[in-house]
């Protein structure tokens, strides 16, 4: 079983030996290995049971170091990095040959970011290589937001989890690429579109449901619990409930579902709080003796867009209250 602690030296030793460890970030916990070591990267894919066509995000501790791994940083990308990093934003940039093709699933661009967590930043500063680190969960399942989540799911396959406490944001990073020099959102995430447009102007938002992803986190089915999930539009009511029905709601419980089976993402209607609670609450409901879960979509603004994106890929959109996962 993985040991859990705050020992950066222990995490560093495992990583330098080519092993993989759990690391905290402000978004979700990552499963990290040496991004320049193909054997370590293969270990990440094996532990997660992740398909090799789904690329990984590379983490480092400064914009200056990013320049060692990419051939070019567009002006808009540099402006975003200088404003946001460290923070929940991943940039898709043309890679140097030092980044193995395995990391990028053969694509010419690498997803790279500087995470905003003091333990992981200290770890990255102590290493002479960047870390490839997708979310530290079995592929397709709910992303982890505590060290215990990682230990519960992957503890028999990894030696160490660096415990940085609960994640502050709770959603994966937003991913932006640059098509013909124009900022393009490939994955909604921990930065709201409104924040990004304030920095670089209008953005193009790409479809996030694809079997041939050009960036991490674009697969149509992802972040899913084991229980069937049915999505409800704001104000919509479930069509059939019983004592084994669960509810993941935005502001207040749904009628007819036992209160013990419901979790409220934010009683104050705060989409940031809802985003922080999303994965942990989905995990709690998934561990209850339920036969199905009704999940309310949030207002489609701010981080509500990213929460809705994750819910849609965990369940069914629009007509989902009539159809099982």
Q: What is the pLDDT along the chain (325 residues), one digit of tens a residue?
A: 899 999 999 999 999 999 999 999 999 999 999 999 999 999 999 999 888 778 999 999 999 999 999 999 999 999 999 999 999 999 999 999 999 999 999 999 999 999 999 999 999 999 999 999 999 999 889 999 999 999 999 989 999 999 999 999 999 999 999 988 789 999 999 999 999 999 999 999 986 554 445 666 555 555 678 899 999 998 899 988 999 999 999 999 999 999 999 999 999 999 999 999 999 999 999 999 999 999 999 999 999 999 999 998 887 644 334 433 3
In whole angstroms, what is the distance from residue 10 CA to residue 160 CA?
Answer: 8
Predicted confidence at residue 53, as pLDDT, reads 78
Nearest alpha carbon to residue 181 among 204, 159, 155, 148: 204
pTM of the entire structure?
A: 0.89
Domain CATH code at residue 243: 3.40.50.11030
Q: What is the chain's alpha carbon radius of gyration, rounded to the nearest angstrom?
A: 19
Instruction: Note whether 69 and 126 are same-domain residues.
Output: yes
Phi, psi for residue 319 in degrees, rounded to 5: -85, 10
- Residue 213 within a domain: no
Cα 295 → chain centroid: 19
Instruction: Answer whether the bond into residue 86 is a cis peptide, omega within 30°.
Output: yes
In whole angstroms, what is the distance from residue 160 CA to residue 259 CA?
Answer: 37
Instruction: Note whether 196 and 239 are same-domain residues.
Output: no
The last residue of a domain, from among 205, 237, 252: 205
CA dihedral (47, 48, 54, 59) positive or negative: negative
Residue whose tokens read 């089976």: 261
Domain CATH code at residue 64: 3.90.870.10
- Residue 211 within a domain: no
Instruction: Note whether 288 and 171 are same-domain residues.
Output: no
Instruction: Note whether 122 and 255 are same-domain residues.
Output: no
Interstrand relation of 204-205 and 30-34 (parallel, antiparallel or unpaired): unpaired
Please say whether the beta carbons of 187 and 88 come within 8 A. Answer: no
Domain extent at residue 51: 3-205
Instruction: Note whether 65 and 140 are same-domain residues.
Output: yes
Predicted confidence at residue 226, as pLDDT, reads 86
Phi, psi for residue 118 in degrees, rounded to 5: -60, -40
Instruction: Note whether 280 and 177 are same-domain residues.
Output: no
Give the Å distances, CA to CA, from 34 to 13, 69, 307: 12, 13, 30
Predicted confidence at residue 298, as pLDDT, reads 95
- Residue 224 within a domain: no
Which H or E run includes 187? strand 182-187
Instruction: Note whether 24 and 74 are same-domain residues.
Output: yes
Predicted confidence at residue 218, as pLDDT, reads 55
- Residue 80 within a domain: yes
Instruction: Note whether 128 and 57 are same-domain residues.
Output: yes
Instruction: Note whether 187 and 233 are same-domain residues.
Output: no
- Residue 254 within a domain: yes
The last residue of a domain, from among 205, 237, 262: 205
- Residue 214 within a domain: no
Would you state the structure tokens that stand for residue 266, as one six-digit string? 């934010």
Predicted confidence at residue 289, as pLDDT, reads 95
Angle between helix 193-200 and 75-84 (nearest 10):
120
Nearest alpha carbon to residue 27 among 279, 220, 223: 279
Question: What is 249-289 written as a DSSP string?
Answer: ESSSPPTTS-GGGEEES-TT--HHHHHHHHHHHHHHHHTSS
In whole angstroms, what is the distance from residue 139 CA to residue 80 CA?
Answer: 29
Question: What is 109-132 written as a DSSP string?
Answer: EEEEE----HHHHHHHHH-SS-EE
In whole angstroms, what is the distance from residue 159 CA to residue 162 CA?
Answer: 10
- Residue 168 within a domain: yes
Instruction: Note whether 91 and 39 are same-domain residues.
Output: yes
Instruction: Note whether 80 and 182 are same-domain residues.
Output: yes
Task: Give me the number of domains the chain comprises.
Answer: 2
The last residue of a domain, from among 171, 205, 239: 205
In whole angstroms, what is the distance from residue 131 CA to residue 160 CA?
Answer: 15
DSSP-derived secondary structure letter, 138: S
293 CB-side CA count, 13 A: 31
Tell me which long-range contacts 163-167 makes (C-beta under 8 A, separation of at least 24).
163/4, 163/5, 163/6, 163/24, 164/6, 164/23, 164/24, 164/25, 164/117, 164/118, 164/119, 164/120, 165/24, 166/280, 167/24, 167/25, 167/26, 167/27, 167/28, 167/29, 167/276
Instruction: Note whether 234 and 104 are same-domain residues.
Output: no
Predicted confidence at residue 185, as pLDDT, reads 95
- Residue 104 within a domain: yes
């Amino acid at each position: 079983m993985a040991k859990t602690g705050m020992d950066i030296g222990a995490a560093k030793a495992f990583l330098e030996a080519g092993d993989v460890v759990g690391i905290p970030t402000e978004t979700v916990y990552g499963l990290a290995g040496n991004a320049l070591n193909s054997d370590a990267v293969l270990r990440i894919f094996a532990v997660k049971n992740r398909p090799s066509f789904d690329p990984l995000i590379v983490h480092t501790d400064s914009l200056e170091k990013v320049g060692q791994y990419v051939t070019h940083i567009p002006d808009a990308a540099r402006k975003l990095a200088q404003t946001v990093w460290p923070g929940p934003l991943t940039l898709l940039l043309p890679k140097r040959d030092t980044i193995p093709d395995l990391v990028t699933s053969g694509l010419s661009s690498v997803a790279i970011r500087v995470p905003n967590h003091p333990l992981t930043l200290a770890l990255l500063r102590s290493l002479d290589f960047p870390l490839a680190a997708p979310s530290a969960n079995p592929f397709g399942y709910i992303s982890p937001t505590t060290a215990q989540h990682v230990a519960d799911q992957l503890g028999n396959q990894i030696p160490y989890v660096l415990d940085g406490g609960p994640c502050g944001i709770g959603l994966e990073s937003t991913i932006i690429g640059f098509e013909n020099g124009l900022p393009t959102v490939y994955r909604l995430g921990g930065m709201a579109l409104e924040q990004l447009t304030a920095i670089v102007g209008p953005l193009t938002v790409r479809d996030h449901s694809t079997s041939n992803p050009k960036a991490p986190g674009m697969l149509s089915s992802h972040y899913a619990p084991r229980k069937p999930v049915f999505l409800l539009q704001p104000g919509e009511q479930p069509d059939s409930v019983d004592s084994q029905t669960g509810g993941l709601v935005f502001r207040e419980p749904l009628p007819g579902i036992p209160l013990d089976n419901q979790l409220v993402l934010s009683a104050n209607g705060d989409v940031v709080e809802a985003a922080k609670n999303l994965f942990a609450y989905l995990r709690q409901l998934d561990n209850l003796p339920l036969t199905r879960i009704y999940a309310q979509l949030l207002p489609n603004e701010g981080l509500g867009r990213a929460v809705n994106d994750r819910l849609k890929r965990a369940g069914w959109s629009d007509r989902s209250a009539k159809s099982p996962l």
